[in-house]
């Protein structure tokens, strides 16, 4: 063996308790679309993105700190909120120097879970900020847990693909003895030449959900690397870029 | 849509509660080696295989019904038991007309979990009885849950590969809207030309554990289709072939 740090992949919030999050960098992955939108808003100059777990908390906090509130339920802006989950709603001219309070279900829940388990180094990952995530993980030389937010605890293809993309880029720097990581990388290698086509051909469940909402443009953007290449770090309830 | 039944794959006992086991055929999958050994013992004429969750329960029940007791811990026959987990320990001349009480950890635990959740149609699956499982699922026209026993709740490659093999064979007969199933089939399609080589090349964690115990022959057998092509069905605490 060698002194490389370890890397594990958790396919679902239901599996995260199998891993030692307190001693690792945890990457929260919610490709369609929470973590892609977080990267985009921060890339475009948002001061903070504050993830919250409910619409009511989003409304309350938005009022309290005069922030923009955003979140969707069933593909529409949730009643009481101002904006949705699309990365295209947050161009620089709109979001620069502002704070966005964003309610998401799967991603925020996983974030809360790892916080409760003692995680103290949390970042968010998505294809739009793939390189920033990989570079950070390589530089830090710490154990890593790639935490897929999944869909209501069910494993999804797109978060697994992103885990695989990270692994394909960083694997020489880690000891990886984790079948979920292996499976993710194989999936990614099958898909990498055309991620959108792969999601379509393989009938990915969330792909279909979003296509039915007319969100093909969002999906294509969320599957494209480095369009918003910043590193969102979580501290004291907020995501921001150092 | 059409009237085909559904098929879902659960990668780990930690995920099984996401699926409606009470209304489905549940396939318990523990490729290395529990369900491969179960198929083999029954194929070779064992009357019953009784899976139990502890060594002490195995000893107790073995005495009570004068059955053969078997189980391993850390690659060796567990103290107090007579035989191990290898399918090669159960040739016809030894096991015919006998009852085997087998203690396994991952597979038995998943079986108990689905029983508690109301499952009433449970079979076991492994490469040695792949065709028997597929034919049964096609014939029954019921919803199916492929339940991977995994390794201490962590997803493993070999159980996922078997799920993929089943899906590749039965998919025309089911509605499959399940990303875990999709991922399993893709993995299987990558691996099918040489399952053993795939496990080796991709550093599958349980493959290495067993190779370190000198069990290459077991692994090769457990990755070969239809060497013990029977259908183990579970009823009243016992597995048997009708």
Check B18 against A153: CB less than 8 A apart.
yes
The per-residue pLDDT for B133 is 98
The per-residue pLDDT for A91 is 98
Is a pLDDT exceeding 60 seen at residue A13? yes
- Partner-chain residue, chosen from A179, A190, A205, that has the shortest CB–CB distance to B154: A179
Min Cα separation A164/chain B (Å): 12
Q: 3.90.550.10, 3.90.1560.10, 3.90.1330.10, 3.30.420.40: which CATH number matches B7-237?
A: 3.90.1560.10
Check A11 against B14: CB less than 8 A apart.
no
- Three-state secondary structure call for residue B46: coil
Write the pLDDT tens digit of every residue in A157-185: 999 999 999 999 999 999 999 999 999 99
Check B11 against A177: CB less than 8 A apart.
no
List CB contacts (< 8 A) between B156 and chain A.
179
DSSP alpha helices (H): ranges in chain B?
34-43, 55-64, 92-95, 106-116, 130-140, 157-170, 179-191, 195-201, 205-212, 216-222
B201 touches A at CB < 8 Å: no
Can you tell me the mean pLDDT for A40-48?
98
- Partner-chain residue, chosen from B12, B15, B187, that has the shortest CB–CB distance to A183: B187
A23 touches B at CB < 8 Å: no
End-to-end CA distance of chain B: 35
Contact status, residue A139 vs residue A233, Cβ threshold 8 Å? no
Structure tokens at A176: 């990886």
The CATH code of domain A7-235 reads 3.90.1560.10
DSSP secondary structure string for all residues of A49-82: EEEES-HHHHHHHHHHHT-EEEEEETTEEPTT-S
A153 touches B at CB < 8 Å: yes
Contact status, residue B27 vs residue A165, Cβ threshold 8 Å? no
Residuewise pLDDT in 10s, chain B (242 residues): 578 999 999 999 999 999 999 999 999 999 999 999 999 999 999 999 999 989 999 999 999 999 999 998 877 899 999 999 999 999 999 999 999 999 988 998 999 999 999 999 999 999 999 999 999 999 999 999 999 999 999 999 999 999 999 999 999 999 999 999 999 999 999 999 999 999 999 888 888 888 888 889 999 999 999 999 999 999 999 999 99
The per-residue pLDDT for A45 is 98
Write the pLDDT tens digit of every residue in A182-237: 999 999 999 999 999 999 998 888 888 888 888 899 999 999 999 999 999 999 99
d(CA B125, CA B29): 5
Query: Percentage of residues in chain A with pLDDT exceeding 90?
Result: 88
More confident residue, B205 or A30: A30
Structure tokens at B25: 């055929």
Put residue A38 in one of left, alpha, beta given phi > 0 → left and psi -120 to 50 → alpha: alpha
Between chain A and chain B, how many beta carbons pairs sit less than 8 Å apart?
83
Can you tell me the mean pLDDT for A75-84?
92
Is a pLDDT exceeding 90 seen at residue A116? yes
Contact status, residue A234 vs residue A136, Cβ threshold 8 Å? no
Strand intervals (E) in chain A: 7-10, 25-29, 48-52, 68-73, 76-77, 99-103, 122-125, 144-148, 233-235, 238-240
- CB count in 10 Å sphere of residue A23: 15
List CB contacts (< 8 A) between B16 and chain A.
none
Is a pLDDT exceeding 60 seen at residue A1? no
Mean pLDDT (chain A, rounded): 95
d(CA A174, CA A143): 8
Structure tokens at B176: 């499959």
Check A153 against B15: CB less than 8 A apart.
yes
Can you tell me the mean pLDDT for A43-53?
97
């Amino acid at each position: 063996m060698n002194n490389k740090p370890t890397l594990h992949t958790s396919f679902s919030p239901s599996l995260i308790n199998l891993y030692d999050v307190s001693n690792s960098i945890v990457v929260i992955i919610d490709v369609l679309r929470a973590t892609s939108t977080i990267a985009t808003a921060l890339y475009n100059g948002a001061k903070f993105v504050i993830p919250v777990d409910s619409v009511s908390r989003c409304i309350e906090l938005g009022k309290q700190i005069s922030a923009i509130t955003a979140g969707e339920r069933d593909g529409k802006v949730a009643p009481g909120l101002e904006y949705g989950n699309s990365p295209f709603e947050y161009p620089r001219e709109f979001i620069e120097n502002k704070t966005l309070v964003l309610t998401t279900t799967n991603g925020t829940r996983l974030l809360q879970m790892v916080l409760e388990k003692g995680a103290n180094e949390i970042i968010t990952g998505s294809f739009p900020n793939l390189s920033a995530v990989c570079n950070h993980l390589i530089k830090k030389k710490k154990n890593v847990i790639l935490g897929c937010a999944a869909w209501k605890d069910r494993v999804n293809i797109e978060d697994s693909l992103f885990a695989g993309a990270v692994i394909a880029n960083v694997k020489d720097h880690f000891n990886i003895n984790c079948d979920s990581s292996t499976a993710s990388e194989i999936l990614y290698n099958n898909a990498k030449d055309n991620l959108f086509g792969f999601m379509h051909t393989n009938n990915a469940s969330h792909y279909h959900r979003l296509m039915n909402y007319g969100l093909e443009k969002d999906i294509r953007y969320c599957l494209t690397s480095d369009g918003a290449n910043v590193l969102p770090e979580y501290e004291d309830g907020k995501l921001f870029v150092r």
